[in-house]
Copies of this chain bind each other. A is one copy, B any other.
Amino acid sequence: MKTKARFYHAGCPVCVSAEQNVAQALDTKRYELEIVHLGEHKNRLAEARELGVQSVPALVLGDQPFHINFGASLDDLS
């Protein structure tokens, strides 16, 4: 059973770099990766907030949020 990995971003340059490097570096044998563009899918902002995401880019492994560098705060995407 793979662990769910969710990568939240907003298309910003910092986000793209984190996606292409950190998110794509995950072991796909152990993690099932979903990429979520919060700018295009604002209906998922609440879910991201509930998981503890405060800014993007952020990687949520299981239910633990990890903020990677800083692109934009979630408040700016609302």
Contacts and interface: CB of A to CB of B under 8 A. Distances in A.
B69 A69 contact: no
B69 A66 contact: yes
A: contact size bracket? 20 to 34
A5 B66 CA distance: 17
Copies of this chain, count: 2
A38 B30 CA distance: 29
Nearest to A18: B66
A64 B17 contact: yes
A35 interface: no
A69 B54 CA distance: 10
A77 interface: no
B21 A31 contact: no
